[in-house]
Structure 1
Amino acid sequence: MRSDNVTKGSERAPNRSLFYALGYTPEELERPLIGVVSAYSEIVPGHMNLDKIADAVKAGVEMAGGTPILIPAIGVCDGIAMGHVGMKYSLASRELICDSVETMLMAHQLDGLVLVPNCDKIVPGMVMAAVRMDVPAVVCSGGPMLAGSYGGEEVSLSKMFEAVGAYKAGMITDEQLEDCTCNCCPSCGSCSGMYTANSMNCLCEAIGIALPGNGTIPAVYSKRLQLAKHAGMAIMDMVNKGITARQIINERSIRNALTCDMALGCSTNTVLHLLAIAYEAGVPIDLKLFNEISARTPNLCHLAPAGPTHMPDLYAAGGIPAVQAELAKKGLLDLDVPTVTGKTLGENIKGAHILNEKAIRPIENPYSQTGGLQILWGNIAPDGCVVKRSAVAPEMQQHSGPARVFNSEETAIAAIYAGQIVPGDVVVIRYEGPKGGPGMREMLNPTSALAGMKLDKTVALITDGRFSGASRGAAIGHVSPEAASGGPIGLIEEGDTISIDIPNAKITLEVSDEVLAERKAKYVAPEPNIKTGWLSRYARMVTSANLGAVLK
């Protein structure tokens, strides 16, 4: 066992003495040492219950003969960080989390990890560390929030952001805005739509590193505590059998995850995170694979913001196993891959079926024959960009209009709120990429403002930044190369015509190569907008979005 390096022999007596100072007994040090990495805090709604989840995991580890050791992890609440400088730290925190989990694992020679995250960057950050170090690991998330209520309908956080746009346009009153504010997020848990947190927790299930139910059991259900206890038991089984993260997460299981991604209609951020996880696992994948899998995978779910259903609806309809069972009907999944249950995927989903076709459509009657995400290429994005096409209205699948160019999110949102954006426009927000931001901020405020003002079916938005999973409409992000790296998005001028063709995976700036060459010759990159702190180091080290924005 790795922990023998800190618990066994006379030379490790000083190490043992420090464990005894912590209250551990000789009997506990004879058992495998399991790190329970919890992102519990009092600043993230999705994490406020993780203390209870971690306690349940520890109970499971102890029941199965291990010694659990609680370890903290940081986590940013993207909703609270949205719309200001704080969002620059969100994606960047993924690398901090990954590095810190590696640090605690190796410094203390732990035998296995149960990863207890819930929101956005915390999930992939922890998984990246597990596959980087190739240790036994199980993910056990805190679970999704219940849906809220506003105007007699079920709602979640995306409706709250859109309500601000409606308020700015004079479409709702102060009282209605306050009603939405007080009622859209009614419980602990990750916000209730198919946003990034829930997307990644579902994909952890799909990739096999989490137990069935991880993505969909609501945070407030007692079944979530039962799941956590079983996660504690599962890690002991993996440690005893020598099963490690890379045996679970490999090229086959990543393809399975991508297939579920397309069927579920997950957040565009899953592109960044699956690329990053694959990089750490040593599995070569690229953006072409996303389109290859999307082209053959029907989209079965339209959860918020794409439709009216929420995560508790998905859970009640059979959850991820029911989605996987539908995909298996057409041979779209590799059912022989191992999972942390100790069984294969095929064994896990045996008997699973849809319980509510409003939340999960049968594969014979999908929302579309193609997946929820689409990668686009063109002279604006030679290295690709991404759109959540399942959340794009049919009339915006193909669009052409004049560019409205902004060099920051703040200037764009000011123009939108001031009513300066009109139907037909293509809003371009640049210098918000991994380097240029730095940190690749989410553009939920601009997309939600457009949706709230009823412009999401007539106005497109293109950025080298990214979007929250709560964004809907023709929101095209991750444009690569980014403007700060000399990408063509930095050469767009006000009034240029931009053509978008989502079905054919194209995005085109209708300007000749000769004119673009002239503009490029005159181009001068702006000074970095942050020159101190660790974000300045991040900007120097981060790679492009099409590579997962990992550090090199």
Structure 2
Amino acid sequence: MSTVPNSQRPFSSIVHDGPDRAPNRSMLRAVGFQDEDFKKPVVGIASTWSMVTPCNMHIDQLARDAEAGANSAGGKAIIFGTITVSDGISMGTPGMRYSLVSREVIADSIETVTGGEGFDALVAIGGCDKNMPGCLMAMARLNRPSVFVYGGTILPGIHPDSKKECDIVSVFEAVGQHAAGKLSDDELKKVESCSIPGPGSCGGMYTANTMASAIEALGMSLPNSSAQVAISKEKKADCERAGEAALALLKAGIRPRDIMTKKAFENAITVVIALGGSTNAVLHLLAIAHTAGVKLTIDDFTRVGKRVPVLADLKPSGRYGMAHLSRVGGLPPLMKMLLDHGLIHGDCLTVTGKTVAENLRDVQPYPTNQDVVRPWSNPIKPDSHLRILYGNLAVGGAVAKISGKEGLQFSGKAIVFEGEEAALAAILNGRVKSGHVVVIRNEGPVGGPGMREMLSPTSAIMGKGLGKEVALITDGRFSGGSHGFVVGHITPEAARGGAIGVVKNGDPITIDAVKNEITLDISPKELKARLAAWKPRKQKETRGALAKYAKLVSTASEGAVTDKYL
């Protein structure tokens, strides 16, 4: 019979050891196992490689680098795959409904393979947005020694005429400029053709780079994994070290839930704010925390955000991309600055086996001649740009991204659209005008289903020069590339009887990022009557992944997870 599980091979020994496991070993010999490999800890290497998107097109090689690192440290690595959905390619189409759903599928698939095959430790490598929280959710569920590796940022494109840097958001905003008559067909094609020069995730402080930074701050990546260019010797070395680190964590008995504590999540929130990161960080950190058994709520973002300044001058609201942050030193100098000012918990454990403070002990400040990250005395904003809003339009909360450049309050008249496509058409054809609050509803987790990102409408608003004159609110969500006066994650969503579902054209709406309120300015009696008369729409999907998601998903304010109510 099989032997008792080995402390350094707690799961693989059950699969590999003993005469009765000869069939198991026979199968493994066919995929490259030698006699000595059956005595080694097995490290699963979860690769999100795909030619679906430039974010992930290089990850097959990174997985082999991680495999080499694990093998050199005395383990036996096995590479396996999972899916990705490209947000940038599916954006503005019905396919975008699958984006957030893919986070759950990624988590399920990594959990399934790792659990089914008896891996003792795990390295996961992610590129496009949902890869990262999906990988972390799987790690939290499995609670086996694990390291996350970010696939790395793309380099900026260079416009052939202006020689200015450009990226994917440049293209989305160029669509609005084209609609406004500011760009010709040929000029639009030039922007389209130069903005994505090769492998790597979207280059600003959009969702991929935001989540990579949050995961590093959380302690689940090696130092500076978040701020490396996708095609670089630093990223190759990061993958090799991650394979080695997984074995070291196994030997030390350090598991993900030892690292992912409440204080670690507070560190992640702090870093996201200091970087001016994406609203999606709220959704994903809530989901990861739920999976890890940590009590984190949207109100923790307000509590932490009151004392954390925005310091990084990064796109979409700022001037620089992630490659620029990489060149001046990456994330560690920022974390050291936050630690020195008492905003980071230095005693949190990380995947190095050391604490945050120990990792940062010898980190040097940013060069004095750089302006990617502002000095402490001159922040971009003295407190958080991520605002959790409440009010009669969002009894369960909403998330706004207010940099201050667009102002801190907005009042206007509602112009209502049932879905993203209708709103985008109205913005491009000129129906949306100064003073409007664009309301896009039935795009929430249930109503979409899938909670699409509204990058196309927000970029069209900016491209048409209406960024300070038009607000946009939705029960959907935003790409990290969205900026302007935008409010998403409105809870309850329209499909669940939320007030956003009964807003009418011309209704006055007030958004206040100082009081953190979002208000439909009609009488309580009128609102009550409208809600009483509201009837749910027929569910769009009745079979398949989207239908299952709509049936199981929690609210956006709870992270839009699919196991909350199980």
Q: Shared topology, TM-score over 0.5?
A: yes
The answer to whether structure 1 residue 58 and structure 2 residue 71 are counterparts is no
Give the secondary structure class of the aligned counterpart of 1:461: strand
Candidates 161, 165, 177, aligned match of 1:154: 165
The answer to whether structure 1 residue 477 and structure 2 residue 488 are counterparts is yes
The answer to whether structure 1 residue 378 and structure 2 residue 391 are counterparts is yes
Matched to 2:183, the amino acid is I
1:484-539: CA deviation from partner (whole Å, max 9, x where unpaired): 00011111111000001112211111011100111112111111122222211110
Kept in 1, the 8 Å contact 2:406–2:485? The answer is: no
Kept in 2, the 8 Å contact 1:263–1:372? The answer is: no
Q: CA deviation at 1:352?
A: 3.0
Match of 2:380 in 1: 367
- Identify unmatched segments of 5+ residues in structure 1: none
The answer to whether structure 1 residue 79 and structure 2 residue 83 are counterparts is no
Matched to 1:345, the amino acid is V
Q: How does 1:11-410 map to 2 (within 5 A)?
A: 11-150=20-159, 151-350=162-361, 351-355=363-367, 357-390=370-403, 392-395=404-407, 397-410=408-421
Matched to 1:137, the amino acid is S
Q: CA deviation at 1:23?
A: 2.4
Candidates 503, 521, 526, aligned match of 2:537: 526
Kept in 1, the 8 Å contact 2:312–2:373? The answer is: yes
Matched to 2:129, the amino acid is D
Matched to 2:523, the amino acid is S
Kept in 1, the 8 Å contact 2:254–2:353? The answer is: no
Kept in 2, the 8 Å contact 1:148–1:154? The answer is: yes
Kept in 2, the 8 Å contact 1:156–1:304? The answer is: no
Kept in 1, the 8 Å contact 2:388–2:516? The answer is: yes
1:443-496: CA deviation from partner (whole Å, max 9, x where unpaired): 000000000000111100000000000001011100001000001111111100
Kept in 1, the 8 Å contact 2:69–2:239? The answer is: yes
C-alpha distance in 1, partners of 2:216/2:321? 18
Matched to 2:451, the amino acid is M
Matched to 1:48, the amino acid is M
Q: CA deviation at 1:152?
A: 2.8
- Larger mean Cα displacement after TM superposition, 527-536 or 501-510: 527-536
1:375-414: CA deviation from partner (whole Å, max 9, x where unpaired): 1111000111111222x5243x211000000111111111
Kept in 2, the 8 Å contact 1:354–1:362? The answer is: no
Give the secondary structure class of the aligned counterpart of 1:278: helix
Matched to 1:110, the amino acid is F
Kept in 1, the 8 Å contact 2:406–2:467? The answer is: no
C-alpha distance in 2, partners of 1:160/1:212? 32
Give the secondary structure class of the aligned counterpart of 1:255: helix
C-alpha distance in 1, partners of 2:422/2:188? 24
C-alpha distance in 2, partners of 1:134/1:533? 29
1:54-98: CA deviation from partner (whole Å, max 9, x where unpaired): 111011101100000001010011001111111000001111110
Matched to 1:219, the amino acid is A
Q: CA deviation at 1:187?
A: 1.8
Give the secondary structure class of the aligned counterpart of 1:83: coil
1:21-54: CA deviation from partner (whole Å, max 9, x where unpaired): 2221120111000000001011110111101111
Kept in 2, the 8 Å contact 1:116–1:139? The answer is: yes
Matched to 2:76, the amino acid is T
Q: CA deviation at 1:196?
A: 0.7
Kept in 2, the 8 Å contact 1:402–1:496? The answer is: yes
1:171-198: CA deviation from partner (whole Å, max 9, x where unpaired): 1111211111111111210010111111
Kept in 1, the 8 Å contact 2:177–2:464? The answer is: yes
Give the secondary structure class of the aligned counterpart of 2:317: coil
- Larger mean Cα displacement after TM superposition, 335-344 or 471-480: 335-344
Kept in 2, the 8 Å contact 1:60–1:232? The answer is: yes
Matched to 1:425, the amino acid is H
C-alpha distance in 2, partners of 1:63/1:76? 32
Kept in 2, the 8 Å contact 1:317–1:360? The answer is: no
C-alpha distance in 2, partners of 1:379/1:181? 41
Candidates 435, 441, 451, aligned match of 2:462: 451
Kept in 2, the 8 Å contact 1:208–1:339? The answer is: yes
1:186-236: CA deviation from partner (whole Å, max 9, x where unpaired): 121001011111111111111110011211111121111011111111111
Matched to 1:402, the amino acid is K
CA-atom RMSD, angstroms? 1.0
Kept in 2, the 8 Å contact 1:264–1:372? The answer is: no
Kept in 2, the 8 Å contact 1:208–1:345? The answer is: yes
Match of 1:550 in 2: 561
C-alpha distance in 1, partners of 2:98/2:75? 36
- Larger mean Cα displacement after TM superposition, 277-286 or 364-373: 364-373
C-alpha distance in 1, partners of 2:384/2:510? 22
- Larger mean Cα displacement after TM superposition, 143-152 or 116-125: 143-152
The answer to whether structure 1 residue 517 and structure 2 residue 528 are counterparts is yes
Give the secondary structure class of the aligned counterpart of 2:506: coil
TM-score, normalised to structure 2's length? Answer: 0.96
C-alpha distance in 1, partners of 2:77/2:377? 46
C-alpha distance in 1, partners of 2:67/2:548? 37
The answer to whether structure 1 residue 441 and structure 2 residue 452 are counterparts is yes
Kept in 2, the 8 Å contact 1:119–1:198? The answer is: no
Kept in 2, the 8 Å contact 1:211–1:227? The answer is: yes
Match of 2:6 in 1: none
Q: CA deviation at 1:299?
A: 0.6
Matched to 1:272, the amino acid is L
Kept in 1, the 8 Å contact 2:283–2:557? The answer is: yes
Q: CA deviation at 1:304?
A: 0.9
C-alpha distance in 2, partners of 1:58/1:458? 52
